[in-house]
């Protein structure tokens, strides 16, 4: 039998008792007035029966008391008569008092005992009758449950059309008798309510069996609710586990059985039950998990769906495919026991593969991006109806961004007291290609790329210099690097030095504070603020001299967008994350169009600014961001006391913003923007260009199996070869025919990961080829690169010398939270 109630739906979506999912079309909905009249008639009938029962009980007790009183009176009269004619016998002194009391006073004392016994029987019966009557009189109408409005279902596609995330509640088509596959009906009945077609709404035998198993099992292990009871609860009651709800559920089940056929009840249940992953109803679940309507389900697929209703959130195949398959096997065996299928059919179904048509779970790092566009979807497409969103997110670049950020934080974060990082990647047109909102979404959903407002430090100088270029200055203009005092403010350079006369190009490249302060006074702080507004910065900016050094808080997205305006020439550059939104109609609900011609930056100041940005990377504070063979420009930024470190850089096609710091605003260990932030930019751009240029295959969004990294033609020439069945020392080191082989690009792990690798390699030959100086090797197993397999499965971390293909394998494992990344 089933538990008392299926597992409740997630709190961010509608509950399974949603009337829209539970009731048929409006024209077929039950009339609440008719239901109320039925309830009143049933209540009156029950009241009459209870009155008859109580009256009969009262008369019985009265007769019992009267008879006892008459017998007692007659006995007393006889004794009085005997006392008049005879001398009353004396009770011997040695006779027990209790015996005397039994003879002379016993009959009189029995009367209150009998009355108390009658009351003890009658009062609980009366209380129970009143309780049942109250439950009956307050029954809600069928299909009248009031539920919270749930979030619409949103399917999110990457920029290339691959589905990578779903949110909200899915509701498919209502089933008809013609649409219901026999296997699904048989599976639900077999696993949920085997006596469904023989009981009258309540299964007393099942209740007794469930009670016995719960008592002997030491807890609630099984429920006794029938399919009819579950349907009544889903459509008419809340999900509280109370006696009151169970009593009303029983009354409603009787009413359902009296007004609906068994097939109608089963169809209604399948249309309202929750199947996990935001899917309400069997048709929605079939489309959600298998990409097909319910009528097209195969036997193993139907068995899997039937097994979900007991614990949908825990067993949803998108989250727990192994658990869903195990439960499907239980359902198949139950179908065999009920005679729905033969044992051979069950065995054949177990051997058939079940393939999901949607990704198991959104890669955790993409949730920052999904949170950001959720509000845009509601604004652009209205509130009602399921939609599919084609986003701007590039899954390759997203995985790469998460990987390079995590790798740098893992390497130097603790030592340099860096707790968090954020990153935004924009195309030249403003499309958001990747977004990292923090170190771990599961630990913190706060999006530091969008929601955090931090001081940008010298990153803000770009706006000061651009304003100066627009007002007649040029990169060759010379100002004197000297002590400056503006009111009570005396800006100093980071190194404490003064260089004398310097061109603005050099001053910008070296991030000289005194020159920026002088420029701010020359052009005016209000003019700098106006430039910031034109380039898309909406945060509050204080009209104070120190603004030129970044004393006003901004978000990473808006400052990156401002730099993107310089690259594209548009003012402002519109950053967007949605390309199109489609609903049920053929016409899309929204399509991102090219912006109408508007304001642009003047060509000459823009060219000067781009030249100055390149100088930062070529010879200034951003040298760590240089990538050989690529044109790079950018600017570093470090706030006071090293609380924030930034780098925003650009290539001819991309704008990348990076921030690092701590959520509690505590200082880092002398961390400048030209160090870790510039290094993150370097790592990303170096490999992003390779991915975009070569069009390398992207990791599987469905995670059916780890992507296999193979040795590339760029690998060094082999200096020797050894083969054999290896012994595993750790996941990066093998003992092969008495020779220790260290895998190139792999930092080995011991413990259970090493044991898993040993089990995988048992009796399998590995061929290893030495590379470089022979200290490390690339190994192959059945044609696949072993290091790539290990990293893609999360069995190790990539070492600093790892080539790009191995770094990509590690990034895939990080994004999918497998192996050591799933801890």
Contacts of 622 (CB under 8 A, 6+ apart): 616, 634, 635, 636, 647, 649, 673, 674, 678
Question: What's the burial of 669, exposed, middle or buried (CB within 10 Å: 0-12/13-18/19+)?
Answer: exposed
Q: Residue 137: which pLDDT band, with cuts at 50, 70 and 90?
A: low
In this prediction, residue 167 carries a pLDDT of 84
pLDDT digits (tens, 9 = 90+) for 436-456: 999 999 899 999 999 999 999
78-82, 234-238, 368-372, 760-764: which is most confident: 368-372
Most confidently modeled of 192-206, 400-414, 772-786?
A: 400-414
Q: Higher pLDDT residue, 717 or 505?
A: 505
pLDDT of residue 60: 52
Q: How does pLDDT run across 172-194, given as a tens digit for each residue?
A: 778 888 888 889 999 999 998 88
In this predicted structure, what is the pLDDT of residue 32?
47
Under the banding of pLDDT at 50, 70 and 90, the label for residue 210 is low
**pLDDT of amino acid 100:** 45
- 8-state DSSP, 14: -
276-285, 325-334, 364-373: lowest mean pLDDT where?
A: 276-285
Residue 223 pLDDT greater than 60, yes or no: no
Please determine, for residue 108, whether its predicted confidence score (pLDDT) is greater than 60.
no
Q: Which residues lie below 8 Å from residue 159, measured CB to CB, with a gap of 6+?
A: 390, 391, 392, 393, 394, 431, 433, 579
pLDDT at residue 228 tops 70: yes
pLDDT at 172: 76
**What is the per-residue pLDDT for 17?**
37
Closest Cα partner for 377 from 654, 148, 166, 559? 166
Structure confidence at residue 252 (pLDDT): 75
Residue 461 has pLDDT above 90, yes or no: yes
Question: Which one-letter DSSP state was computed for residue 29?
Answer: S
- State phi, psi for 705 to the nearest 5 degrees: -155, 155
**CATH level 3 topology of 721-822:** OB fold (Dihydrolipoamide Acetyltransferase, E2P) (2.40.50)
* Cα–Cα dist 522/464, whole Å: 10
Whether 222 shows a pLDDT value over 70: the answer reads no
Which of 52-61, 254-263, 273-282, 740-749 has the lowest average pLDDT?
52-61
pLDDT at 169: 80
pLDDT of residue 55: 59
Region 216-243 average pLDDT: 67
- Beta-bridge mates of residue 388: 155, 582
Lowest mean pLDDT, pick from 429-433, 635-639, 759-763: 759-763
Residue 34 pLDDT more than 70?
no
Which class would CATH give 19-28+148-351?
A: mainly alpha
Q: Residues of the chain with pLDDT > 70: what percent?
A: 74
696 pLDDT higher than 50 = no
pLDDT of residue 251: 72
Q: What is the pLDDT of residue 49?
A: 53
For 292-303, how does the pLDDT look when each residue is reduced to its tens digit (9 = 90+)? Answer: 889 899 999 999
95 pLDDT more than 70:
no
Query: Where are any strands of DSSP class E within 404-550?
Result: 420-427, 432-436, 478-481, 500-503
Nearest to 354, CA basis, from 323, 327, 320, 317: 317
pLDDT digits (tens, 9 = 90+) for 717-773: 344 688 888 888 899 999 887 788 889 889 988 888 888 888 888 778 889 888 866
Give the pLDDT confidence score for residue 13 in this predicted structure: 39
pLDDT for 9: 40
Mean pLDDT of 70-88: 57
- The whole-number average pLDDT for the span 613-620 is 96
Determine how many CB atoms are found less than 10 A away from the CB of residue 142: 25
Contacts of 241 (CB under 8 A, 6+ apart): 4, 5
Lowest mean pLDDT among 19-23, 110-114, 197-201, 646-650: 19-23
What is the arithmetic mean of pLDDT over 493-501? Answer: 91
Higher pLDDT, 467 or 256: 467
Q: Are residues 581 and 388 in contact, defined by beta-carbon separation less than 8 angstroms?
A: yes
Burial 382-420, CB ≥16 within 10 A → b, else e: eeeebbbbbbbbbbbbbbbbbbbbbbbbeebbeebbbbb
Instruction: Specify the pairing of strand 387-391 against strand 154-157.
Output: parallel
Predicted pLDDT at 716: 38
The pLDDT of residue 206 is 66
pLDDT in tens, 43-70: 555 555 555 555 555 565 455 455 545 5
Question: Residue 805: what pLDDT?
Answer: 85
The residue with greater pLDDT, 672 or 244, is 672
| pLDDT at residue 712, as a whole number | 34
Tell me, what's the pLDDT at 51?
59
724 against 645, higher pLDDT: 645
What was the pLDDT predicted at 103? 45
The reported pTM is 0.69
User: What is the band of 386 on the pLDDT scale with cuts at 50, 70, 90?
Assistant: confident
Specify the pLDDT at position 381.
Answer: 84
Check residue 587 and give its pLDDT. 85
- Going from the C-alpha of 622 to that of each of 401, 569, 670, 674, 679, the distances in angstroms are 19, 23, 16, 5, 9
Q: Give the residue with greater pLDDT, 141 vs 800.
A: 800
**Stronger pLDDT, 124 or 368, i.e. the higher one:** 368
**In contact, 166 and 278? CB cutoff 8 Å:** yes
pLDDT digits (tens, 9 = 90+) for 542-566: 999 999 999 999 999 999 999 999 9
Give yes or no for residue 162 having a pLDDT over 60: yes
pLDDT at 70: 57
Cα gap 783→709, rounded to integer Å: 10
Q: What was the pLDDT predicted at 359?
A: 65
Among the ranges given (118-122, 539-543, 664-668), the one the predictor scored with the smallest mean pLDDT:
118-122
pLDDT at 619 over 90: yes
What per-residue confidence (pLDDT) applies to 3?
A: 41
Q: Which residue has better confidence, 358 or 716?
A: 358
Q: Tell me, what's the pLDDT at 598?
A: 73
Q: Which residue has the higher pLDDT, 569 or 40?
A: 569
Given pLDDT bands bounded at 50, 70 and 90, which one contains residue 238?
Answer: low
Residue 653 DSSP SS3: coil
pLDDT digits (tens, 9 = 90+) for 701-712: 333 333 333 333
* pLDDT at 597 (0 to 100): 73
CATH number, domain 402-467+519-694: 3.40.710.10
Q: What is the pLDDT of residue 727?
A: 87
In Å, how far are 140, 186, 552 from 264, measured between CA atoms? 20, 15, 65
**pLDDT grade, residue 235 (50/70/90)?**
confident
Domain limits of the chain?
Answer: 19-28+148-351, 32-90+98-137, 402-467+519-694, 721-822
State which of 164-178, 507-521, 806-820 shows the largest mean pLDDT: 507-521
Question: Does 83 score more than 70 pLDDT?
Answer: no
């Amino acid at each position: 039998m089933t538990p008392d109630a299926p597992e409740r739906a997630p709190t961010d979506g509608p509950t399974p008792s949603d009337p829209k999912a539970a009731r048929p079309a409006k024209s077929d909905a039950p009339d609440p007035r008719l239901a109320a009249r039925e309830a009143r008639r049933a209540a009156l009938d029950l009241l009459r029966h209870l009155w008859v029962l109580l009256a009969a009980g009262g008369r019985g007790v009265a007769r019992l008391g009267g008879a006892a009183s008459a017998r007692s009176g007659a006995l007393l009269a006889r004794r009085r008569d005997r006392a008049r004619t005879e001398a009353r016998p004396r009770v011997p002194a040695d006779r027990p008092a209790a015996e005397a009391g039994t003879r002379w006073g016993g009959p009189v004392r029995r009367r209150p005992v009998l009355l108390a016994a009658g009351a003890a029987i009658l009062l609980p019966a009366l209380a129970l009758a009143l309780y049942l009557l109250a439950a009956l009189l307050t029954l809600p109408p069928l299909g009248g449950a009031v539920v919270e409005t749930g979030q619409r279902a949103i399917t999110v596609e990457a920029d290339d059309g691959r589905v990578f995330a779903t949110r909200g509640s899915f509701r498919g088509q209502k089933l008809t008798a013609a649409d219901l596959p026999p296997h699904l009906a048989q599976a639900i009945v077999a696993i949920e309510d085997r006596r469904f077609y023989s009981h009258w709404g309540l299964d007393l035998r099942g209740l007794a069996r469930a009670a016995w198993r719960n008592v002997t099992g030491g807890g609630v292990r099984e429920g006794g609710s029938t399919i009819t009871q579950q349907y009544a609860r889903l459509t008419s009651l809340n999900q509280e586990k109370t006696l009151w709800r169970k009593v009303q559920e029983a009354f409603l089940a009787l009413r359902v059985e009296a007004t609906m056929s068994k097939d109608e009840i089963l169809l209604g249940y399948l249309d309202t039950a929750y199947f996990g992953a935001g899917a309400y109803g069997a048709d929605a679940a079939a489309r959600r998990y298998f990409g097909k309507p319910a009528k097209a389900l195969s036997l193993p697929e139907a068995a899997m769906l039937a097994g979900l209703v007991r614990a949908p959130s825990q067993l949803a195949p998108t989250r727990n495919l192994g658990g869903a398959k195990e439960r499907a096997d239980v359902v198949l065996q139950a179908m065999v026991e009920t005679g729905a299928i033969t044992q051979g059919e069950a065995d054949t179904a177990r051997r058939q593969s079940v393939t999901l048509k949607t990704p198991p779970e959104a890669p955790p790092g993409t949730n920052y991006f999904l949170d950001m566009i959720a509000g845009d979807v509601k604004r652009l497409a209205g509130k009602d109806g399921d939609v599919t969103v084609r986003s701007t997110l590039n899954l390759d670049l997203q995985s790469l961004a998460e990987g390079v950020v995590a790798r740098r934080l893992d390497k130097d974060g603790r030592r340099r007291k860096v707790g968090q990082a954020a990153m935004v990647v924009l195309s030249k047109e403003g499309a958001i290609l990747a977004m990292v909102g923090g170190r771990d979404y599961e630990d913190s959903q706060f999006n530091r790329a969008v929601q955090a407002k931090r001081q940008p430090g010298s990153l803000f100088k770009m706006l000061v210099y651009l304003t100066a270029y627009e007002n007649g200055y040029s990169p060759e203009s010379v100002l004197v690097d000297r002590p400056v005092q503006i009111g009570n403010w005396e800006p100093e350079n980071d190194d404490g030095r003064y260089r004398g006369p310097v061109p603005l190009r050099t001053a910008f490249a070296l991030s000289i504070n005194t020159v920026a302060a002088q420029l701010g006074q020359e052009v005016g702080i209000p003019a700098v603020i106006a430039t910031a507004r034109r380039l898309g910065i909406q945060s509050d900016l204080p009209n104070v001299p120190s603004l030129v050094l970044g004393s006003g808080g901004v978000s990473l997205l808006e400052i990156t967008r401002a730099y993107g305006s310089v690259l594209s020439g548009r003012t402002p550059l519109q950053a967007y994350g949605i390309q199109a939104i489609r609903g049920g109609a053929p016409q899309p609900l929204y399509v991102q169009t090219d912006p109408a011609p508007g304001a642009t930056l003047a060509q000459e100041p823009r060219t000067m600014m781009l030249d100055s940005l390149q100088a930062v990377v070529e010879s200034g504070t951003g040298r760590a961001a240089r990538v050989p063979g690529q044109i790079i420009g950018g600017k570093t930024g470090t706030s006071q006391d090293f609380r924030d470190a930034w780098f925003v850089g650009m290539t001819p096609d991309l704008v990348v913003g990076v921030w690092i710091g701590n959520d509690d605003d505590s200082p880092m260990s002398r961390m400048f923007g030209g160090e870790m932030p510039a290094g993150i930019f370097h790592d990303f751009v170096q490999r992003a260009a390779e991915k975009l240029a070569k069009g390398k295959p992207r990791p599987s969004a469905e995670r059916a199996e780890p992507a296999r990294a193979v040795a590339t033609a760029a690998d060094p020439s082999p200096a020797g070869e050894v083969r054999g069945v290896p012994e595993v020392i750790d996941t990066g080191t093998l003992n092969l025919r008495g020779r220790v082989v260290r895998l190139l690009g792999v930092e080995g792990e011991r413990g259970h990961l090493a044991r898993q690798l040993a089990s995988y390699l048992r009796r399998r030959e590995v061929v290893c080829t030495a590379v470089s100086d022979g200290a490390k090797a690339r190994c192959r197993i059945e044609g696949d690169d072993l290091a790539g397999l290990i990293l893609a499965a999360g069995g190790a971390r990539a070492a600093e010398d790892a080539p790009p293909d191995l770094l990509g394998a590690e990034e895939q494992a990080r994004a999918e939270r497998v192996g050591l990344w799933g801890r």
